[in-house]
Amino acid sequence: MNHKNMNFRTDLALERRDLYRKANDIKEEIPGIKTEEEYKDSMTISRVKILNDEGANAIGKPIGNYITIDIKDLRLASEEEIQKAAEILSEELKKLYDVHLEEKQDILVVGLGNIGVTADALGPNVVRDIDITRHLLKYAPQYLEEDTRSVSAIAPGVLGTTGIETQEILKGIVDNVKPKLIIVIDSLASKSIERISSTIQIADTGIVPGAGVENTRKEISENSLGIPVIALGIPTVVELATLVSEGIDIFIERLQEKSKSNGFLNELQKEDKYEEVKEALKVGDYNMIVTPKEIDDLIENMSSVVARGINMSL
Amino acid sequence: MNHKNMNFRTDLALERRDLYRKANDIKEEIPGIKTEEEYKDSMTISRVKILNDEGANAIGKPIGNYITIDIKDLRLASEEEIQKAAEILSEELKKLYDVHLEEKQDILVVGLGNIGVTADALGPNVVRDIDITRHLLKYAPQYLEEDTRSVSAIAPGVLGTTGIETQEILKGIVDNVKPKLIIVIDSLASKSIERISSTIQIADTGIVPGAGVENTRKEISENSLGIPVIALGIPTVVELATLVSEGIDIFIERLQEKSKSNGFLNELQKEDKYEEVKEALKVGDYNMIVTPKEIDDLIENMSSVVARGINMSL
Amino acid sequence: MNHKNMNFRTDLALERRDLYRKANDIKEEIPGIKTEEEYKDSMTISRVKILNDEGANAIGKPIGNYITIDIKDLRLASEEEIQKAAEILSEELKKLYDVHLEEKQDILVVGLGNIGVTADALGPNVVRDIDITRHLLKYAPQYLEEDTRSVSAIAPGVLGTTGIETQEILKGIVDNVKPKLIIVIDSLASKSIERISSTIQIADTGIVPGAGVENTRKEISENSLGIPVIALGIPTVVELATLVSEGIDIFIERLQEKSKSNGFLNELQKEDKYEEVKEALKVGDYNMIVTPKEIDDLIENMSSVVARGINMSL
Amino acid sequence: MNHKNMNFRTDLALERRDLYRKANDIKEEIPGIKTEEEYKDSMTISRVKILNDEGANAIGKPIGNYITIDIKDLRLASEEEIQKAAEILSEELKKLYDVHLEEKQDILVVGLGNIGVTADALGPNVVRDIDITRHLLKYAPQYLEEDTRSVSAIAPGVLGTTGIETQEILKGIVDNVKPKLIIVIDSLASKSIERISSTIQIADTGIVPGAGVENTRKEISENSLGIPVIALGIPTVVELATLVSEGIDIFIERLQEKSKSNGFLNELQKEDKYEEVKEALKVGDYNMIVTPKEIDDLIENMSSVVARGINMSL
């Protein structure tokens, strides 16, 4: 198997690491990658560190830190649980500020996505709830505490509604507003439907918008913008072919348990069924990405978690 | 195979008929069922007539007429195409009025579903755009043409947000408002993702809300309400297990085409994988129903089609 | 001056009492009316008790209790302030349950208004957040505590979108669901723009929907429905003529302060300018009712207060 | 009276011209200003041309063309009337392209305003419906006709939610995207409530966002951005003090008609009551701007008119 060309169908470093280990029968850690897990208030915090090119090539993600916070049952979350999740997010963000920022330097928050599409509205929703200070520092500093950090925010829309690459828009804003760090909120694709709007991935490597859904555009990163970019990614969709492909694996496992297995079945399971399934399922343009029926509530709760987490961290 | 206990996982009579024929290797029509197809302006209109108990038992739907209008690419529909679809819907409705109503008798339009959940908001959205006349006939008849029909409409909410069976609410309203016919708009489950918000089923048999998603409540029909009930059902969700189960079938077919088939594979395909897959996929409460990412646009366009169609028919 | 025919242009008993006293130069309390005030957590709670027909005739409201909670700056309310306001509302509601209900009897919450009109959406918004139990008591009692009260809720829409009087709809539901008390949430007209979505009036007398905006429909009360009706009214609009009329009074007062006054000015101020102003301002159908630009935020915060207050009280 | 310091409280050149003529008893045209009127399909099109500094100083607007389209009863507009209004808007825009653009040069559409505030959402709503081509010309030119013009669009948000001046955002985008003309859609303040969301002002002079509501920020114009800026302004709010001030004038006129007039009243009417009234009405931060209750429907219809008008013109 060609390790470099795996099609992961997920933007989460954690899921990619697990897929890579499974596909390559690696029992220990992948060379060039280090992982830690922590449990806190019924949430799981995983820290995947890609240390060098070997690790980066294995799972197709740049060198850097990827922190994943898994929140259970966010759909039914109480006020209290939302608050707790926001606190954990805030702590993780502060650790990254310590690495990438001097005290009280300007931050720009960017909410990617299309406010008119429920499953894609998380970024713009978060921006709406961020506590902005930049204009007050300029026009009404007397209302702010002395050491308030300058925070600005923008929801630049998506290529399909603006006709402009997000990177082109951000470049102009960075040139004029001159922040020292960007926090980007983005909707991701994951492999598992239970992670939808229930998991946050924090990466200090920036992002390529839409990469997870086969829609590559220009990256948003220190490389392209000249300042550090922290990416907050939240899975909101799963590809249909991924779902079915997983389903077939599960199905075959069940058959094997019932000792119906034979050589053929084993072979079946080793193959990458994804491309096959994807081809077979192609029924038009809009069949490839699915989102659970409860997406409205999920997005609302996750927006609260992220907006509060960012506000607390500033 | 026990014909009566098939689990169809679809509310569409047309899909059930096809499933039944496939499962029972019936090449001709199912006894007790008659089907016709018509093509018009790039739309397909199918008319399934269940003639007697034998037909009713086969596909688990009461005796009556089920008309399915398939609209292609409704997501990208132009103003013109929406108008055309509305006209066809209007014609079909008028045929049913001719059977069930005397001239200009009162009609009540009922939009089922939860306005706060995108995939379930079609009914309430339609109600918002229906041309209501009942209050004008009462308080300002001078503004209406002489033979205007009395039309009223309600979006009663769902059991989960009201705590009241829809049937209980409608019973009270029918007693007080005394319409002669009810048109109910409901969100359905179908088997195929390309039918989502692109197909309308018109049935003169009434409906059981939520039947398609394993959530049986009391029926809304002439039986229970004492007046004829025309049901306009639009698929807005597909069950995940259905998708995966279909996907496995498609996958196996592909393998067979590539002459990898053997006796075991054939056996695999005959089995009902649904329950197996469903069991295997159970990862929580919210994983069972999926809806495409484009659901916002789809619902908006379909709401236009249905509201206009009903308005034209009145 | 004919006391009975005053045109109050406000649904708030408190504002009507003040207007009546001013118009009739009454320094003390109006005969048949008793008023108390209380301050709590920067909120003002006023209790107007109409004791007999004399009081009822004076301010054009039925005999009963009218409690007004004034919340300052609700537009900018913190989570904490919303919670505090909800607690005060909850306490006042519990006092009324003690008078009108035996322990744990069924309650129906009714949210009046049009969910598609921001300034009229408060009722439906609140209903969405009420903790419903009636269906769980019926289908899943094992998940509830033993003495849970049965709560159901409905947003019946408005005459303009349903064609059906709200009272007709509620009658049918009361007959079928058989609650022992109704809580109705309604949008009111007030005289002062700073009360918009910042004041709650609780009345144990029921309501006549739309009365404050000259749009009289059938009353929703113990009289018409056979069970006690608690009305939660929140001002969301002010009539333009009311605003201008008030403005003229304020303007004349200013002129008088500057000793520009003369006999004519005094006379001017005594007259009821409302009808005059209303006539003069008539520029179409939609000019008569105004709402502040901030209405979206105001409605959102007030919906939180009311939904939480009701939930806590149950 | 100091002509230069009139406080117009309206962003419409047409209303300012009328106010100036009235205040200065000018029967003919103001020197330096030329006006024409045209009636078409029950709409009124007014063309105010400011020819020189004298005209510009008189009404406080830069030299240029101001075209006002008044649409009657847009709230109740039929599909057909929306289409007609869009056609007239399209024709006027094309005339301006002829002056300011060579054939098929790039255009950027900018929708100002806050999508979360109904009365301020017109700009972002319009942007959502603009037919964008820039990305298709770049990535999929085969789907476009040969001479398709490059159109991009952005809704940059407002200072209060971004912390960034709109001009700063646009400067960066213009530098990177390099359009040859900008069309800005903005919400305006007017003096008359019947113009709310029923009038479009087209100006080839650019705009100063928020100028009409005493919230001056940096201008968006050829001056500041280096390319021509066409401003489409639609009134969505009226200041309360303006309303009351108008109301007092109307009221006094009525009194005079009834021969109650005297010298004092005449004097009263000449004074500028606005500042007086504004001072008197100050009851908090949010009382100064009002919008009619029907604003949701009005905004929706006007968004259709403007988006279609722009699309047709391109």
Closest among B244, B298, B303, B114 to A294, alpha carbons compared: B114
Q: What is the mean pLDDT of residues B21-39?
A: 91
Residue B91 has pLDDT above 80, yes or no: yes
Q: Which residue in chain B is spatially nearest to A267 when comparing CA positions?
A: B260
Phi, psi of C271 (to 5 degrees): -60, 155
Tokens of D202: 């087209």
Collect all residues of chain D within an 8 Å Cβ-Cβ radius of residue A178: none
pLDDT band at B262 (very low <50, low <70, confident <90, very high): low
Identify each DSSP E strand in chain B by its residue range.
33-40, 43-50, 64-70, 107-111, 151-154, 181-189, 199-203, 229-239, 289-292
pLDDT at A187 (0 to 100): 86
Residue found by looking up tokens 């789907």 in the block:
D143
Give me the tens of pLDDT residue by residue for chain C, a chain 314 residues long: 334 456 777 889 999 999 899 888 898 999 999 999 999 888 899 999 999 999 999 998 889 999 999 887 676 667 778 888 888 898 999 999 999 998 889 999 999 988 888 888 888 988 988 889 999 998 888 888 888 899 999 999 998 889 999 999 999 999 999 999 999 998 888 887 778 778 899 999 998 654 444 444 578 999 889 999 999 988 888 877 777 777 777 666 666 665 554 565 566 556 666 665 665 554 443 344 667 666 777 677 777 777 777 777 77
Phi, psi of A186 (to 5 degrees): -140, 150
pLDDT at C81 (0 to 100): 80
Do C177 and B155 make contact, defined as CB atoms within 8 angstroms? no
Residue B279 has pLDDT above 60, yes or no: no
Nearest to C161 among B153, B163, B177 (CB): B153
**Is the minimum CB–CB distance between D243 and chain A shorter than 8 Å?**
no
pLDDT band at B217 (very low <50, low <70, confident <90, very high): low
Interface A-B: count of C-beta contacts within 8 A = 137
Q: Which residue in chain B is spatially nearest to A263 when comparing CA positions?
A: B264
Collect all residues of chain C within an 8 Å Cβ-Cβ radius of residue B155: 157
Q: C224: how many CB neighbours lie within 10 A of its CB?
A: 15
- List subunits contacting chain C, requiring 3 or more Cβ pairs under 8 Å: B, D
Collect all residues of chain C within an 8 Å Cβ-Cβ radius of residue B133: 163
Do B169 and C154 make contact, defined as CB atoms within 8 angstroms? yes
Residues within 8 A of B (CB atoms), A 25-44 only: none
Task: Give CA D211 to chain center in angstroms.
Answer: 11
pLDDT at A314 (0 to 100): 74
DSSP letter assigned to residue C112: -
Collect all residues of chain C within an 8 Å Cβ-Cβ radius of residue D240: 193, 243
**Is the minimum CB–CB distance between B143 and chain A shorter than 8 Å?**
no
Mean pLDDT, chain B, integer: 81
pLDDT at A106 (0 to 100): 94
Q: Which of D293, D295, D298 to mutate to test the interface with C (most CBs of C within 10 A)?
A: D293
- Three-state DSSP class for C68? strand
B238 vs B248: CA distance, rounded Å: 16
**Is the minimum CB–CB distance between B116 and chain A shorter than 8 Å?**
yes
Q: What is the mean pLDDT of residues B30-53?
A: 93
Q: Which of D76, D120, D253, D287 to mutate to test the interface with C (most CBs of C within 10 A)?
A: D287
What is the identity of the amino acid at A228? Answer: P
Q: Which of D244, D275, D278, D302 to mutate to test the interface with C (most CBs of C within 10 A)?
A: D244
Collect all residues of chain A within an 8 Å Cβ-Cβ radius of residue B237: 293
Q: Name the minimum distance, in Å, from the CA of D59 to any CA of chain A.
A: 28
- Three-state DSSP class for B216? coil
Do C118 and D118 make contact, defined as CB atoms within 8 angstroms? yes
**Is the minimum CB–CB distance between A132 and chain B shorter than 8 Å?**
no
pLDDT band at D79 (very low <50, low <70, confident <90, very high): confident
Residue of B281 and B168 predicted with greater confidence: B168
The answer to whether A293 touches A118, Cβ cutoff 8 Å, is no
Q: A41: how many CB neighbours lie within 10 A of its CB?
A: 11
D181 vs D178: CA distance, rounded Å: 9
Collect all residues of chain D within an 8 Å Cβ-Cβ radius of residue A150: 163
Residues within 8 A of D (CB atoms), C 261-280 only: 262, 264-265, 268, 273, 276-277, 280
The answer to whether C194 touches D283, Cβ cutoff 8 Å, is yes
Which of A116-130, A211-225, B95-109, D210-224 reaches the highest mean pLDDT?
B95-109
pLDDT at A1 (0 to 100): 32
What is the identity of the amino acid at D82? Answer: I
**Is the minimum CB–CB distance between C290 and chain D shorter than 8 Å?**
yes
Nearest to C262 among D240, D248, D264 (CB): D264
pLDDT at D214 (0 to 100): 41
Q: Report how far apart, in Å, the C-alpha atoms of D32 and of each of A117, B50, D59, D60 are.
A: 49, 79, 10, 12
Do C283 and D194 make contact, defined as CB atoms within 8 angstroms? yes
Collect all residues of chain D within an 8 Å Cβ-Cβ radius of residue C191: none
- List subunits contacting chain A, requiring 3 or more Cβ pairs under 8 Å: B, D
Q: Name the minimum distance, in Å, from the CA of C270 to any CA of chain B.
A: 37
Do C135 and B161 make contact, defined as CB atoms within 8 angstroms? no
> What ipTM does the predicted assembly reach?
0.82
DSSP conformation letters of chain D? --GGG-------HHHHHHHHHHHTT--SPPTTEEEEEEEETTEEEEEEEE-SHHHHHHHT--SEEEEEEE-TTGGG--HHHHHHHHHHHHHHHHHHHHHH--TT--EEEEE-S-TTSGGG-HHHHHHHHS---HHHHHH-GGGS-TTPPPEEEE----HHHHSS-HHHHHHHHHHHH--SEEEEEEEEE-S-GGGTTTEEEEETT-B-TTGGGT-----BSHHHHSS-EEEEEEEEEEEHHHHHHHHHHHHHHHHHHTT---HHHHHHHHS--HHHHHHHH--SSSSSEEEETTHHHHHHHHHHHHHHHHHHH-
Within 8 A by CB and 6+ apart from C213, the residues are C189, C237, C239, C288, C289
Q: Which residue in chain C is spatially nearest to B139 when comparing CA positions?
A: C163
pLDDT band at B287 (very low <50, low <70, confident <90, very high): very low
Residue D190 has pLDDT above 80, yes or no: yes
**Is the minimum CB–CB distance between D196 and chain A shorter than 8 Å?**
no
Task: Give CA A301 to chain center in angstroms.
Answer: 16
Nearest to B164 among C128, C163, C173 (CB): C173
Residues within 8 A of D (CB atoms), C 73-92 only: 73, 75
Nearest to A243 among B240, B260, B297 (CB): B240
**Is the minimum CB–CB distance between A252 and chain B shorter than 8 Å?**
no
**Is the minimum CB–CB distance between B127 and chain C shorter than 8 Å?**
yes
Collect all residues of chain A within an 8 Å Cβ-Cβ radius of residue B243: 240, 243-244, 247, 290
Collect all residues of chain A within an 8 Å Cβ-Cβ radius of residue B118: 118, 295-296
**Is the minimum CB–CB distance between D160 and chain C shorter than 8 Å?**
no
Tokens of A222: 């220190």
pLDDT in tens, D251-289: 666 666 655 545 655 665 566 666 655 555 544 433 446
A161 vs D136: CA distance, rounded Å: 11
Give me the tens of pLDDT residue by residue for chain A, a chain 314 residues long: 334 456 777 889 999 999 899 888 898 999 999 999 999 888 899 999 999 999 999 998 889 999 999 887 676 667 778 888 888 898 999 999 999 998 889 999 999 988 888 888 888 988 988 888 999 998 888 888 888 899 999 999 998 889 999 999 999 999 999 999 999 998 888 887 778 778 899 999 998 654 444 444 578 999 889 999 999 988 888 877 777 777 777 666 666 665 554 565 566 566 666 665 555 554 443 344 667 666 777 777 777 777 777 777 77
Q: Which residue in chain B is spatially nearest to C166 when comparing CA positions?
A: B173
Do A262 and B265 make contact, defined as CB atoms within 8 angstroms? no
**Is the minimum CB–CB distance between B166 and chain C shorter than 8 Å?**
no
Do D176 and A157 make contact, defined as CB atoms within 8 angstroms? no
Do A296 and B243 make contact, defined as CB atoms within 8 angstroms? no
**Is the minimum CB–CB distance between A250 and chain B shorter than 8 Å?**
yes
Collect all residues of chain C within an 8 Å Cβ-Cβ radius of residue D270: none
Do C163 and B153 make contact, defined as CB atoms within 8 angstroms? yes
- List subunits contacting chain B, requiring 3 or more Cβ pairs under 8 Å: A, C
**Is the minimum CB–CB distance between B210 and chain C shorter than 8 Å?**
no
Do D296 and C116 make contact, defined as CB atoms within 8 angstroms? yes
- Three-state DSSP class for C202? strand
Which run of H or of E encompasses C53?
helix C53-59
Nearest to A176 among D153, D161, D171 (CB): D171
Residue of D72 and B13 predicted with greater confidence: B13
